[in-house]
């Protein structure tokens, strides 16, 4: 049985998200050309919450999108198709500041795929990366601009981000093989 450690509870996640929302506005220098894009699946829920927080604080209506990177993965040959391909819905990205939101940053391969996919939809002026958890272990030269919490993990660990929309509660847990 793997041991599970609670890393963030719902209140810690809420605090992290509200700080991240203000960092997004700060780094994007306002909300005018801002687009917040979540990576399927839990990145989408986090992005929706960040958008809500930004809109509340700034009285704005920030553009929002969803990105499914399944078809841009580089491991189809190695591990076979991911049978569940999700929805991609993006607003116009040309000339805008795009904030890509994901739950966990690990190898960086998902973000590499997300950057490629964004490039097929337009030419953003700037792309920022925003993640709730940075767990280290990068295999590509990619880093986040806005981070909720940084932790160090072993390769066998699993970091589970739970969101109430999909999982019934908000939590971040680390599962480690005993």
Partner 1 sequence: MKPDVPSLGKDLVGLEHLSADQLRLILDTAEPFKEVSERQIKKVPALRGRTIVNLFFEASTRTRISFEFAEKRLSADTVSIASSGSSVSKGETLVDTARNLEAMRIDMVVIRHHSSGSAEFLGKRIRTNVINAGDGKHEHPTQGLLDILTLRDKFGKIEGLKVAICGDVLHSRVARSNIWGLTKLGAEVAVCGPASLLPRNVEELGVTVIPRIEDAIAWADALNVLRLQLERMQSGFIPSLREYNRVFGLTTDRLERAPKDLVIMHPGPMNRGVEIDSGVADGPHSVILPQVTNGVAVRMAVLYLLAGGSPDASHQGGEA
Nearest distance, CB of residue 51 and partner 1, angstroms: 21
Which residues contact partner 1 by CB under 8 A? 68, 70-73, 75-77, 79-89, 102-107, 109-110, 116-117, 120-121, 156-160
Based on CB atoms, which residue is closest to partner 1, 57 or 71?
A: 71
Residue placing its CB nearer to partner 1 in the complex, 42 or 49: 42
Count of H helices and E strands in the chain?
5, 8
For the chain, how far is it from start to end, CA to CA, in angstroms? 6
Query: Least distance in Å: CB of 72 to partner 1?
Result: 6
- Beta carbon of residue 160, minimum distance to partner 1 (angstroms, whole number): 7
Residues in the chain: 178
3-state secondary structure of 4: strand
Give min distance, CB of 59 to partner 1, in A. 32
The CA distance from 19 to 53, in Å, is 10
Q: Tell me if residue 103 falls in helix, strand or coil.
A: strand
Q: Which is nearer to partner 1, 59 or 77 (CB)?
A: 77
The two tokens of residue 10 are 């719902």
């Amino acid at each position: 049985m793997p041991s599970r450690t609670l890393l963030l509870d719902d209140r810690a996640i809420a605090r992290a998200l509200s700080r991240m929302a203000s960092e997004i506005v700060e780094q994007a220098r306002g909300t005018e050309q801002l687009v917040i894009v979540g990576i399927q699946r839990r990145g989408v829920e986090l992005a929706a919450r960040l958008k809500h927080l930004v809109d509340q604080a700034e009285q704005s209506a920030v553009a929002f999108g969803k990105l499914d990177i399944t078809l841009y993965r580089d491991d189809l040959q190695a591990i076979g198709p991911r049978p569940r391909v999700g929805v991609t819905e993006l607003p116009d990205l040309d000339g805008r500041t795009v904030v890509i939101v994901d739950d966990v940053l690990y190898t960086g391969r998902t973000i590499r795929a997300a950057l490629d996919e964004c490039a097929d939809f337009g030419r953003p002026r700037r792309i920022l990366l925003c993640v709730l958890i940075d767990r280290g272990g990068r295999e590509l030269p990619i880093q986040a601009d806005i981070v909720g919490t940084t932790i160090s993990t072993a390769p066998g660990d699993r970091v589970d981000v739970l969101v109430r929309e999909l999982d019934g509660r908000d939590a971040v847990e680390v599962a480690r093989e005993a």
